[in-house]
């Protein structure tokens, strides 16, 4: 039984003595509040756009827009797919199907891991947070993978296949493909996920500041 308690303490860390909690409550509340805020911001990002592509063509001088959420695409998808057909690019909806299907469950899992740090008072909290910290980078890397896959594998039988060289559409900023101009922008949902990552790092700093003295004291005993 004692061995099991030691193993649990190794993962969960030492408990806060009641007298210390009453004396220094703020010290232990700060990392918890920051982590809860990070989890809340990440949750809200689910409902907001992460990325937007605006395509300008001679027949669409006002531009066509495709907006990406974590689990769906919205906007002028059919019109853009129609233009992409001429250069041999696959429909946008065929990209990242698995990612969009699982995205809500994945983010929910990240949120649970963040909230889990409220009950873990050891360096193990860092490992719980790593997936959430890296999540925005993973989103952009996955988006780049699909953009590159679609842009570098054009259908050679497309009407304009001879006029277009394989290309990689930009993740951010302007890009030109034949007579088409694309403008890619990061949207509020993605910025919120970055904000959540920054808050998690700050929260881990205060987490360490709050609980390291307890761990040191526990080990010395």
Place 217 in a pLDDT band, splitting at 50, 70 and 90.
Answer: low
Looking at per-residue confidence, does 161 or 55 come out higher? 55
% of the chain beyond a pLDDT of 70: 93
Q: Among the ranges 44-48, 119-123, 148-152, which has the highest mean pLDDT value?
A: 44-48
Question: Which helix (H) or strand (E) element contains residue 158?
Answer: none
Phi, psi of 69 (to 5 degrees): -105, 175
Is residue 175 classed as helix, strand or coil in its secondary structure?
strand
Predicted local distance difference test score (pLDDT) of residue 7? 52
Concatenated DSSP letters for 32-97? HHHHHHHHHHHHHHTTS--EEEEEEETTEEEEEEEEE-SS-EEESHHHHHHHHHHHTPPPGGGSSH
Give the CA diameter of the chain: 77
Element (H, E) at 177: strand 173-177
pLDDT digits (tens, 9 = 90+) for 61-82: 899 999 999 999 999 999 999 8
| Angle ∠(6,130,106) on CA atoms, nearest 5 | 105
List the chain domain ranges: 29-220
Segment 100-143, tens digit of pLDDT: 999 999 999 999 999 999 999 888 999 999 999 999 999 999 99
């Amino acid at each position: 039984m004692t061995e099991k308690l030691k193993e649990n303490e190794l993962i969960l860390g030492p408990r806060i003595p009641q007298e210390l909690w009453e004396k220094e409550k703020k010290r232990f509340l700060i990392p918890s509040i920051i982590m809860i805020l990070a989890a809340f911001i990440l949750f809200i990002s689910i409902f907001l756009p992460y990325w937007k592509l605006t395509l300008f063509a001679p027949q669409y001088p006002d531009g066509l827009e495709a907006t990406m959420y974590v689990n769906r695409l919205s906007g002028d998808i059919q019109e853009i797919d129609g233009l992409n057909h001429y250069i041999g690019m696959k429909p946008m909806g065929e990209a990242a199907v698995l990612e969009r299907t699982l995205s809500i469950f994945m983010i929910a899992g990240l949120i649970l891991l963040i909230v889990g740090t409220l009950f873990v008072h050891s360096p193990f909290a860092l490992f719980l947070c790593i997936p959430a910290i890296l999540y925005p980078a993973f989103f952009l890397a996955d988006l780049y993978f699909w953009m590159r896959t679609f842009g570098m594998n054009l259908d050679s039988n497309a009407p304009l296949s001879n006029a277009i060289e394989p290309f990689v559409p930009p993740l951010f900023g302007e890009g030109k493909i034949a007579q088409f101009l694309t403008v890619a922008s990061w949207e509020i949902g993605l910025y919120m996920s970055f904000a959540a990552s920054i808050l998690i790092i700050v929260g881990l700093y205060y987490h360490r500041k709050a609980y390291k003295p307890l761990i040191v004291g526990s080990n010395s005993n």
